[in-house]
Amino acid sequence: MSAPNNHIKIIVVDDHTMFCEALEELLESQHDFSVVGTAGSADQACVQVAQSQPDIVLLDVQIPGEAITSTIPKLRELSPNSQFIVLSMYDDPHLVHRLLPLRIGGFLHKSASSEELISTIHSVQRKNARVVVSVALESLTEPDTSGSSHLSDREHEVLELVAKAMSNVQIANRLSIKEATVKRHLRSIFTKLGATSRIDAVNKAVAEMIIKPPVLHGHGQPHMTL
């Protein structure tokens, strides 16, 4: 995909096809926007961003692959001038605080209006000093530091089973949910904890006293799949 020189070049990263297509249609309806690529995973995003060098990258917080806290720095290396706007179904101030050090341009809840999204893109493209965030400001100024409160009950259950070295299939069977649902919960857990692997998530959760330390095997490390 190519774009006129005066257009804002945008890449959309989301693994939900219908949402991605609707967002692309909305953006293309604007006279100064051009969608130059779409991606459904972190790896695909790296390829698209490297090729297109977009002005703006709109990415869902739970794309398949590495945690977003690892993906954004990689994308920034591939395209240093790109600005990043994170879209999320979660109105979670803890998540925003983890993303702010990555110098994102904006964080929008997916319930945001089309006008708010368009305005945010223009604001971020102008590289205004402030970060556009669509969560309650009072929540951002006084984040809850009580540990497990920023994980949902289901995420807490999944994490405890991960700490017991259970596979995604085993966790799905234990909780009577689909394996794909387990993976979505894990992506959310990784993002909220700033973790890059299952072991990293367990270690950070133990350090924050979210879960009890797992039973150790052999040489003092939890035995689980990365």
- The answer to whether residues 132 and 65 belong to one domain is yes
163/202 Cα distance (integer angstroms): 6
Between 153 and 160, where is the model more confident? 160
- The answer to whether residues 12 and 84 belong to one domain is yes
Distances (CA, A) of 69 to 63, 102, 196: 11, 8, 8
Query: Does residue 175 belong to any structural domain of this protein?
Result: yes
105/102 Cα distance (integer angstroms): 9
Would you say residue 108 has pLDDT above 50? Answer: yes
Would you say residue 134 has pLDDT above 70? Answer: no
Would you say residue 160 has pLDDT above 70? Answer: yes
Give the number of other CB atoms < 10 A from CB of residue 28.
Answer: 11
Query: Does residue 224 belong to any structural domain of this protein?
Result: no
Contact present, 9 and 26 (Cβ < 8 Å): no
Confidence at residue 200, expressed as pLDDT on a 0 to 100 scale: 85
Q: Which residues of 53-82 are buried (b: 16+ CB within 10 A; e: fewer)?
A: ebbbbbbbbbbebbbbbbbbeebbebbeeb
- The answer to whether residues 46 and 133 belong to one domain is yes
Confidence at residue 3, expressed as pLDDT on a 0 to 100 scale: 67
**Ordered strands of the 132-133 beta sheet:** 33-39, 8-13, 56-60, 83-88, 106-109, 132-133
- The answer to whether residues 34 and 108 belong to one domain is yes
| Residue whose C-alpha is closest to residue 67's, from 106, 48, 41, 90 | 41
Between 224 and 25, where is the model more confident? 25
Positive or negative, the CA dihedral 4, 9, 14, 16 is: negative
Tell me the whole-structure pTM to 2 decimals: 0.64
144/136 Cα distance (integer angstroms): 13
51/47 Cα distance (integer angstroms): 6
- What is the tally of structural domains in the chain? 2
Look up the domain containing 174 and give its range: 148-207
Query: Does residue 86 belong to any structural domain of this protein?
Result: yes
- 219 pLDDT band (50/70/90 cuts)? very low
171/177 Cα distance (integer angstroms): 8
Across 30-46, average pLDDT: 95
Across 180-199, average pLDDT: 88
Q: Where are the alpha helices (DSSP H) in the chain?
A: 17-28, 42-52, 68-78, 93-99, 114-125, 137-141, 153-163, 168-175, 179-193, 198-207
- The answer to whether residues 78 and 130 belong to one domain is yes
- The answer to whether residues 121 and 69 belong to one domain is yes
Query: Does residue 92 belong to any structural domain of this protein?
Result: yes
Across 107-111, average pLDDT: 86
Would you say residue 53 has pLDDT above 90? Answer: yes
% of the chain residues with pLDDT over 90: 45
- The answer to whether residues 126 and 201 belong to one domain is no
Query: Does residue 225 belong to any structural domain of this protein?
Result: no
